Structure 1
Amino acid sequence: MSDSDYIKTVWTVDKIRMRVDYETSEEFHFAVNGDGHGLADKSNKVILSFNDIQVCYSKELDIVNAILNTEDKNDFINTLGEFKIELDTITQSDMSHPVDIFNLYKRVSIFWKETQQILKSVSVKRLIDSFLEDFHQEWKFYARMNAVGLLNIQMYHDLDPRDIINGLIKYGDKIYKSKSKLTWNDVKLIANEAKQDKKLDLYVRWLQSVPELNNEYETAARVHDLALSNWKKTLGTGVRTFIDPIYTNASETAKRFRHFFKEQMNMTCGNPKIIHTCKYQFQFREIQKLCKEYGHTSAPRPENICSNINYKDPYLKLGPFKLEHLNTEPFVEVFHNIIYDDEIQWMKDMSRDYMDLAYLTGDSKDKVQDPGSLRVKVAHFGTTGQLRILNNRFELATTLTIQNPNYRYNSESYQVVDFGLGGITEIHLDEAELPTVSSVSIGGGFFATNILYLSNNIAGGKTVFPDAGVGVYPEYGAMIHFSTKEYLKS
């Protein structure tokens, strides 16, 4: 078949069927080798990943149903009233909604521990014992973790705290409503965590959203304006503020903060080696804009097109890769429908027992850690078994050698990542500006990254490239392929 005849065809292909040497493997498991790790540490009793949340909520519903069929029903209903919890806010919660998830954590830490003491049914007490054994942490721990998660969601998507308090998350043309809401005590907690993390703008905004916290808001506003007066320390330590004071009687220095801010921004953003710092500290609006827009975001350039890629391979002509080009320098591309439902489910199922806690810091998890840095669970796997099939497909799509059995440094091991409430990977560089000793020792460091998206019905969660003005929506079954080196300039 000629290329011109191929273009005229009206066939549609449901699945790319690779030749036998690409799509078969004698192994049907996740094999762990030197680049991976073993089973997860079961002693880590923390609800963290999205899967953890679903499992925890399912067990909570089992407890509620068990109680409602015992003589403890009335005592249980009375206890709910004392905690100002309505029964249907438990039974009808949306465990994809940040506010309902936040309140699940509160119940695990506080409500169920108290409720256990007043119940008489031995079987129900045993259920709750097991539930607490698997999921309980003190509220101080979970409060910090979840407050930071909500702050991340609000900050990156530029949401109004008043909407979040009332259980409303606006994304694109949709509004997601929770069954439960936040109390003013929750708001105070979240605001104080924002202050602890040096986000004084969020500290003020959350307190301003609730009339009961007016006194706290006035204190926060004074703290904010004082930070503007001490502008050198504020700008030098990455404290987030508004660029104008809140009170009209603020000091003259505070009123000149906008001027100092612009001066520091010009100095920082003029240094190409720290452009990512510039975007985070001084041009965060650009990141917010990319995060809050639904779908893929890129500049309307002539080369940014969608195409069917076959590399003149006769097999791929029947089922070409569907490529969307979003940026050239650095290149950012999306391969649509490159992994299928059964493969995605297999990957989730097989990685579940290997998922372990991961902090956003580089410290060992054995050290005392800030719960606010707990955002994700990760499993690492070498390219063996069924993963070899995917590996072959990705090599064919990208024309790169991802795995060479004679050279272990072709690529990192696979990482299966499951984010929790407000899970995020902060802005960073995958590769240093200049070569390092470690990168040279393994052949030159990273020059490309692939990310597969394994979840559907997602609001938010975009991968953004603020320097390039590109945002990639986490489309189910797609793979983003991007460079970490500049090809045209160096």
Structure 2
Amino acid sequence: MIIFTLACTVLIFLQSTAVSGDMVTALADMEGLVSTELQLVKHLENYIQEEESRLKRLKGFLEEYESIYQEASADPTTYLANPLNAYLLVKRLTSDWKKVKSVISRNVGSDFVKNITQHKNDMRLPTDEDLNGAAVALTRLQDTYQLDTHALAEGKVLGKKNSRQLTADDCWELGRQSYNNGDHYHTVLWMSEALSKLENESNKTVSRQDILGYLAFSTYKQGNVKEALHLTRELLKIVPYHHQALGNIRHYERLLREQETTRKQTAAIDDVTTGERFNATNLKLEKTLKTFGVPNDLWDNYEKLCRGEKLLDPNIEGRLRCRYVTNNVPFFFIQPVKLEEAFLKPLLVIYHDVIFDEEIETVKKLAHPRLKRTTVQNMETGESIPVKYRISKAAFLRDDEHHLVSKVSRRVGYITGLDMTTAEDLQVCNYGIGGHYVPHFDYAKKGEVHGPRDLEWGNRIATWLFYMSDVEAGGATVFPSLGVAIWPRKGSAAFWYNLYPNGEGNENTRHAACPVLTGSKWVSNKWIHERNQELRRPCALNYNSEM
């Protein structure tokens, strides 16, 4: 194929040089062909070298993909449980694959690319949006669990090395995705790491100027004008006529001159600059807090609890007990239920060994084909919409779909003593890389409804949450107001009342699903409504009673 292409190249070249038709009529004109031939030889040599280089690159890509595939295929679940591996898989099939296609498309590979495109629907390749989502998830984990950038780049999560090291290009892509999201804090972190990685790479995976371009501007946006100026000058040494860099450098120099006009102005601007750097890490958080309506102290508690920090008052913790309960249900006399108190007011309990492996596998098998991105209801339009603050996929199972689903639902009723005819279908959720749900209430506030059933059945009086998998790291259910964290344990379930006996919502039940750091988290829950619970959980004589 290469010989055929070379022959075509020679033919085209000769045709183009003989257009005038009278070159061979004079020897003097023919003498010029000697130098032309020399140029042609050089062109052919360069072409062959480029083709050989192209094939060498493709072989390198092939070897890398085969090596990683062998590692991943041995145990896909364990491999993808690591967030770095999950991110790199998406990256390999998006931005990295674009590079492979680019190399292939330079010649006969275009037919191969066309064939790949025709089978795109069958292959289910991730999109650029998937890559952005994977990058955002990784930076979310980085913030929540205070993970060191360099350690992540070395493939270490919580001190354990269970992933390949990131290349300079891997880090650069993380920085680029952060930049595109307006997240200059993480852009600086990952572009700086990319620059460090690049210095030690024998085969450079990204260009220094590409890193410096992003790093310089994001450093400026972080408030460090001097460093931005230094980085921009470094960029101009490599690309002297970089249009954007030339404009930026004039802007930075002008800012620095203004800062130096007076000592007072310098101090004031330094204060602003320092403040910008201090607030940079929380820039997205402030926007998030405003959107979610979560107070700063509760958000701080949320992240601390996710990291495993103990916030529960020791005096309260000392009064918590574990016991066996029967709830006057006959078959619980033979095998009582194991109850663990997590908090007393409001009552928050954990039941152990209340869903079994066969039931879990059946529920997962039924739900898996129907899993869809979880949504929340827009309170203005009533439309269900996907949001960045709830990252998971879910499916609903009716009791009549399988006898084990019905059995599980009945068990919830027996244990809680509540009527399950006004409980919603079993919602099954799976959280993947960085999957989470920020602090929220399960009950509907005044003027809100979760759906049409709220109007018929009343508010969500209680929540039952099954844990259907263990999670290696992260994924806790936390209650920021209470200082309580419940860690996923396969076969257990958490239960709490969302409402006071008078029907008012209990704000202390605000809870969150922490980001999954490593592993895959499976849960299922039943939301139980007020209707039919009047005699099972009657109102107290005192309207303001909490019990």
Q: Same fold (TM over 0.5)?
A: yes
After TM superposition, list the pairs within 5 Å mapping 1:47-446 onto structure 2.
79=58, 81-82=60-61, 85=64, 87-93=66-72, 94-109=79-94, 114=100, 133-138=122-127, 140-170=128-158, 175=160, 177-178=162-163, 180-195=164-179, 197=181, 199-212=183-196, 213=211, 216-225=214-223, 250-255=269-274, 277-279=293-295, 281=296, 284-293=299-308, 298-300=312-314, 301=316, 302-359=318-375, 375-384=391-400, 385-386=402-403, 387-402=405-420, 404=421, 410-434=422-446, 436=448, 441-446=455-460
Q: CA deviation at 1:276?
A: 7.1
Distance 1:339 1:127 in 2: 45
Structure 2: which 5+ residue stretches go unaligned? 1-53, 73-78, 197-210, 226-265, 281-289, 502-544
CA deviation vs aligned residue, 1:343-400 (integer Å, no higher than 9, x gap): 111111122222233356859xxx9x99967833221122223221111111111111
**Cα–Cα, structure 1 residues 374 and 257, in superposed 2: closer, same or farther, change >3 Å?**
closer
Contact kept, 8 Å, 1:360 with 1:373, in 2: the verdict is: no
Q: Which has the higher contact order (CA 8 A, sep 6+)?
A: 1
**Cα–Cα, structure 1 residues 456 and 223, in superposed 2: closer, same or farther, change >3 Å?**
same
CA deviation vs aligned residue, 1:255-278 (integer Å, no higher than 9, x gap): 5679999xxxxxxxxxxxx99734
- For the residue of structure 1 that corresponds to 2:439, the secondary structure is coil
- For the residue of structure 1 that corresponds to 2:429, the secondary structure is strand
**Cα–Cα, structure 1 residues 156 and 252, in superposed 2: closer, same or farther, change >3 Å?**
closer
Contact kept, 8 Å, 2:326 with 2:337, in 1: the verdict is: yes
**Cα–Cα, structure 1 residues 193 and 373, in superposed 2: closer, same or farther, change >3 Å?**
farther
CA deviation vs aligned residue, 1:442-479 (integer Å, no higher than 9, x gap): 34311211111112343211111111111111111111
Instruction: Find the counterpart in structure 2 of residue 463 from structure 1.
Output: 477
- For the residue of structure 1 that corresponds to 2:223, the secondary structure is helix
Distance 2:424 2:166 in 1: 42
Q: Which has the higher helix share?
A: 2
Bigger Rg over Cα: 2
Contact kept, 8 Å, 2:312 with 2:484, in 1: the verdict is: yes
Q: Which amino acid is the alignment partner of residue 125 of structure 2?
A: H
User: TM-score when scaled to structure 2?
Assistant: 0.57
**Cα–Cα, structure 1 residues 442 and 158, in superposed 2: closer, same or farther, change >3 Å?**
farther
**Cα–Cα, structure 1 residues 460 and 333, in superposed 2: closer, same or farther, change >3 Å?**
same
- For the residue of structure 2 that corresponds to 1:329, the secondary structure is coil
- For the residue of structure 2 that corresponds to 1:425, the secondary structure is strand
CA deviation vs aligned residue, 1:315-340 (integer Å, no higher than 9, x gap): 21321111111112333211111100
**Cα–Cα, structure 1 residues 78 and 419, in superposed 2: closer, same or farther, change >3 Å?**
same
Q: Which amino acid is the alignment partner of residue 149 of structure 1?
A: A
Q: Which amino acid is the alignment partner of residue 64 of structure 2?
A: I
- For the residue of structure 1 that corresponds to 2:460, the secondary structure is coil
Instruction: Find the counterpart in structure 2 of residue 266 from structure 1.
Output: none
Q: Which amino acid is the alignment partner of residue 473 of structure 1?
A: W
Instruction: Find the counterpart in structure 2 of residue 238 from structure 1.
Output: none
- CA RMSD in angstroms comes to 4.4
CA deviation vs aligned residue, 1:39-96 (integer Å, no higher than 9, x gap): xxxxxxxxxxxxxxxxxxxxxxxxxxxxxxxxxxxx9996352478364333113222
- For the residue of structure 2 that corresponds to 1:448, the secondary structure is strand
- For the residue of structure 2 that corresponds to 1:426, the secondary structure is strand
Instruction: Find the counterpart in structure 2 of residue 483 from structure 1.
Output: 497
Structure 1: which 5+ residue stretches go unaligned? 1-74, 228-246, 262-273, 405-409
**Cα–Cα, structure 1 residues 318 and 101, in superposed 2: closer, same or farther, change >3 Å?**
same
**Cα–Cα, structure 1 residues 96 and 324, in superposed 2: closer, same or farther, change >3 Å?**
same
**Cα–Cα, structure 1 residues 90 and 432, in superposed 2: closer, same or farther, change >3 Å?**
same
Q: Which amino acid is the alignment partner of residue 219 of structure 1?
A: F
Distance 2:386 2:176 in 1: 15
Q: Which amino acid is the alignment partner of residue 285 of structure 1?
A: D
Distance 2:390 2:108 in 1: 33
Q: Which amino acid is the alignment partner of residue 420 of structure 1?
A: G
Q: Which amino acid is the alignment partner of residue 135 of structure 1?
A: R
**Cα–Cα, structure 1 residues 434 and 197, in superposed 2: closer, same or farther, change >3 Å?**
farther
Q: CA deviation at 1:98?
A: 1.2
Contact kept, 8 Å, 1:112 with 1:128, in 2: the verdict is: no
- For the residue of structure 2 that corresponds to 1:335, the secondary structure is strand
Distance 2:361 2:55 in 1: 38
**Cα–Cα, structure 1 residues 201 and 439, in superposed 2: closer, same or farther, change >3 Å?**
farther
Contact kept, 8 Å, 1:146 with 1:421, in 2: the verdict is: yes
Contact kept, 8 Å, 1:97 with 1:176, in 2: the verdict is: no
Distance 2:482 2:474 in 1: 19
User: TM-score when scaled to structure 1?
Assistant: 0.62
Q: Which amino acid is the alignment partner of residue 397 of structure 1?
A: I
